[in-house]
Chains A and B, each alone.
Chain A
Amino acid sequence: MAKEKANNCAAYARTSKADRPLSPHLFIYRPQLTSGMSIFHKITGIGMYAGLFALVSWLACVAGGKESYYIFSYIANSVVGRIFLIGWTWAFFYHFGCGIRHLLWAAGKCLSLDCVYKTGYVALAFSAIATISLWAVILGNWI
């Protein structure tokens, strides 16, 4: 028994650092609301970092003058442009809600499973309601 343990240790020591398991594992656990929302927090974060390029492009186009501004407007108001804008709006509200949960956890609050699930559903509902409401107001006025 002791010999087997020693062998296991030796085997572990032989593995390179890259071979050892690293967290977080995406495909080992059964998907749950918690893990799913965590992954979407990352995805919306990456999406918004891409969106920041669009935002800075808008600033550059405004600074560039009327012509560049209209080129940006034309792209932003196209169907594809609007799909991206709606996507970024949802990503913003989702990341915003999830971010508040992260801040709560970091403060040592809301660490019970019950609270984690409840605030998870609240954040999801908030992101959907906020996105739909904002775009209803925008498109209602544009049409």
Chain B
Amino acid sequence: MRGHATKHWLIMQASSLLMLPLSVWLLFSFVENVVFGNGYESAMAWLRNPLHALATTAAVVLAAHHGSNGVISGIFEDYVHHKVLNAIGTTAVKLSAFVLMAVGAGSIAKIYFGV
């Protein structure tokens, strides 16, 4: 019986709950190890840690999903009433989310496995 809006709401709830601890931990770990680190070497070392690689991949996927859903409902559904523009915008945002996930996960995989 769940409609489109309920599903959207549940997804936003679940992704935000997961990102609350994940984002804060990643932010502090990133600042501590990369911002205060030794440039490229520190960035590589940080992302080659399996925990960081996995958490960063999860964060990119969750953020791309949560963000694209938010932009689609909060901007296009609420304010763009022109049907064609709405459809173009919605499709573009959905596509961009896939690009973000693919490039993000692909880059992390390349760093981690050293391909």
A→B interface (CB under 8 Å): 18, 22, 24, 42, 45-46, 48-49, 52-53, 55-56, 59-60, 62-63, 66, 69-70, 73, 92, 96, 99-100, 102-103, 106, 134, 137-138, 141
A100 touches B40 (CB 8 A): no
Residue of A nearest to B112 (CB): A63
Enumerate chain A residues within 8 angstroms of B108, measured Cβ to Cβ. Answer: 59, 63
B→A interface (CB under 8 Å): 9, 13, 16-17, 20, 23-24, 27, 31, 35-36, 39-40, 43-44, 47, 56, 60, 63-64, 67-68, 70-71, 74-75, 78, 81, 96, 100, 103-104, 106-108, 110-111
Rounded to whole Å, the gap between the CB of A76 and the closest CB of chain B is 10
Residue of A nearest to B41 (CB): A66
A106 touches B13 (CB 8 A): yes
Rounded to whole Å, the gap between the CB of B58 and the closest CB of chain A is 13
B75 touches A46 (CB 8 A): yes
A96 touches B111 (CB 8 A): no
Enumerate chain B residues within 8 angstroms of A45, measured Cβ to Cβ. Answer: 67, 70-71, 74
Enumerate chain B residues within 8 angstroms of A73, measured Cβ to Cβ. Answer: 39
